[in-house]
Amino acid sequence: MSLRLGDIAPNFQAKTSLGDIDFYEFLGDSWGILFSHPADYTPVCTTELGKTAALKGEFDKRGVKVLALSVDGVESHKSWIGDINETQNVSVEFPIIADDDRKVSLLYDFIHPNASATATVRSLVIIAPDKTVKLIITYPASTGRNFVEVLRVVDSLQLTANYSVATPANWVEGEDVIVVPAIKTEDAIAKFPKGVKVVKPYLRYTPQPNKD
């Protein structure tokens, strides 16, 4: 299947490095990140999972549950985690799906046959508490992902889900945001008491509304 923004993320049951899970039960009412990597014992993946583990506190602070996936088996995952912990100086505490039958990979369109007929590409999906897909990014196998950027996107998604704003290019937490076009300027001035800076009728900034 081809997964698109706004779709309901499909549920599944799977074996992982931490035991059997039901995806929806695992997520509960939290935000979730599901990301795939081509194979165990590969150098780029080792650094990616290490970085994710190192950022555990940041994901926890945002109420985000992380779940990785590879087409290798549970025992391979468990052994590889030891290498990740040793080489990246971390403790991997999130589950890694053992997708030997590629069921989840096909469900989430993580296998791109023109890139590899058997291995998953570096795809990452962010899922909101209502189980809708909010972000899909896909990198080639040779390029490691930027997980600080993933956190930045989570900050934007969580902010814009609760306020009538959008975030500009290169925005980071604490910077000014953009008032969405659907709100008239006079309404925006009333809605955002910190002030509205009108650059153009369609381009209006306001301080981040959930910051003191």
Give the active site residues.
45
Q: Per the domain annotation, does 200 fall within a domain?
A: yes
Using one digit for the tens of pLDDT, what is the confidence trace for 88-112? 999 999 999 999 888 998 899 887 6
The pLDDT of residue 120: 65
Same domain, 69 and 125: yes
Full residue range of the structural domain in which residue 95 is found: 13-143
Q: What is the pLDDT of residue 35?
A: 93
Domain assignment of residue 27, yes or no: yes
> What does the pLDDT read at residue 93?
96
Q: Does a structural domain hold residue 1?
A: no
State whether 74 and 105 are in the same domain.
Answer: yes
Q: Please give the full DSSP string across the chain, using - where no structure is assigned.
A: ----TTSBPPP-EEEETTEEEEHHHHHTTSEEEEEE-S-TT-HHHHHHHHHHHHTHHHHHHTTEEEEEEESS-HHHHHHHHHHHHHHHT----S-EEE-TT-HHHHHTT---TTT-SSS--EEEEEE-TTSBEEEEEEE-TTS---HHHHHHHHHHHHHHHHSSEE--TT--TTS-EEE-TTS-HHHHHHH-TT--EEEETTEEEE--TT--
Domain annotation covers residue 118: yes
Same structural domain, 27 and 107: yes
pLDDT at 109: 84
pLDDT, mean of each 10-residue run, the chain (212 residues) = 89 96 98 92 94 97 96 93 97 95 88 60 92 94 91 97 96 96 95 96 96 80
Query: Are 20 and 109 part of one and the same domain?
Result: yes
> What predicted TM-score, i.e. pTM, was given to this entire model?
0.92
Residue 7 lies inside a defined structural domain of this protein: no
Residues 102 and 29 in one domain: yes
In a domain, 103, yes or no: yes
